[in-house]
Structure 1
Amino acid sequence: MGQCYVASLDVANVPNIITDQSALLALKAQISYDPRNVLSNNWSTGTFVCSWVGVTCDSRHQQVTALNLSYMDLVGTIPPHMGNLSFLVSLNIENNSFHGSLPNELSHLYNLQHLSFGFNSFNGEIPSWMGMLSKLQNLSLFGNSFTGTIPPSLSNISSLQVINLSYNQLLGSIPSSIFNIYSLQRIDLGDNMLSGPMPSIISNMSSLQIINLRSNNLSGPLPKDTFDNLPYLQLLRVSYNQFSGQLPSTLFNCKRLQYLSLSKNDFIGSIPSEIGNLIMLTVLSFADNNFEGMFSISVCKYPIDDT
Structure 2
Amino acid sequence: MITSAETLPDLSSPYPLRQEQIEAYQRDGHILLRGVCSPEEIAVYGPIIREAAYRYNTQNLPIEQRDTYGKAFLQIMNLWVRDERVRKYVLARRFARIAAELMGVEGVRLYHDQALFKEAGGGPTPWHQDFYYWPLDTEKTITMWMPLVDADETMGTMTFASGSHTQGFLGHFEISDTSEEYFRNFVAEHGFPLTSAGAMKAGDATFHAGATLHSAPGNKSDRVREVMTIIYFADGVRVMEKPDNKNRWLDLETWLPGVKPGELAVSELNPLVYRKE
TM-score, normalised via structure 1 length: 0.20
The structure number with the bigger radius of gyration is 1
Higher RCO (CA 8 Å, separation ≥ 6 residues)? 2
TM-score, normalised via structure 2 length: 0.22
